Amino acid sequence: MAMDNSQDAKAEAILKDYFNLKDALVNDDNSKAKELGNTLAQSLKSFDASSYSDSEQNELNDIIEDATEHAEHIGESDIAHQREHFKTLSKDMTDMVAITGTSMTIYEQYCPMYDNNKGGAWLSMNEEIRNPYFGAQMLKCGKVQREIN
């Protein structure tokens, strides 16, 4: 996978913004999540996929477009709605990492009870479960599904 360092740095910056947003949701902080949703939307918009293959570029552009839309919605929603958008945003981030790779160790975590027991996954830099879908209500509900890297 050929990628220059500035693109690698941009993908890592997107992930860091995502993790900050996740932490705001874990802490039940609606206003901080709004702010961080907007920050993430800006990071996503600045991502340039041109150093990837044509098929990867197409896929990344679709992922980035979708993720940006969800991040923008998070920037203007109540916390329950933020969490709904975070579920799809988390899938977008997982799909992005599958293409861009990352130098970080990331844990894909999963709560089976979210969304009327349909479940919801998210990414975390820590193995310890801190549930962004329920916050303080069920802080440790979930499990690590897999380690990325």
Residue 67's SS3 state is: helix
Q: How many domains does the chain have?
A: 1
Minimal CA–CA distance to 25: which of 109, 131, 140?
Answer: 131
1-33: pLDDT as tens digits = 444 466 688 899 999 999 999 999 999 999 999
Specify the DSSP element, H or E, that contains 107: strand 106-111
60-91: pLDDT as tens digits = 999 999 999 999 999 999 999 999 999 999 99
Minimal CA–CA distance to 89: which of 60, 117, 66, 59?
Answer: 66
Taking 80 as the threshold, does the pLDDT of residue 40 lie above it? yes
> What is the pLDDT, as a whole number, of residue 9?
86
> What is the pLDDT, as a whole number, of residue 1?
41
**Dihedral angle, C-alpha 86, 111, 128, 31, nearest 10 °:** 30
- Structure tokens belonging to residue 147: 């380690």
> What is the pLDDT, as a whole number, of residue 2?
44
Owner of token pair 């993720």: 67
Q: Could you tell me whether strands 143-148 and 106-111 are parallel, antiparallel, or unpaired per DSSP bridges? A: antiparallel
108-145: pLDDT as tens digits = 999 999 999 999 999 999 999 999 999 999 999 999 99
Minimal CA–CA distance to 37: which of 94, 84, 5, 106?
Answer: 84
Rounded Cα–Cα distance for residues 107 and 125 (Å):
6
Can you give the residue range of the structural domain that contains 55? 5-148
- Structure tokens belonging to residue 39: 């920050």
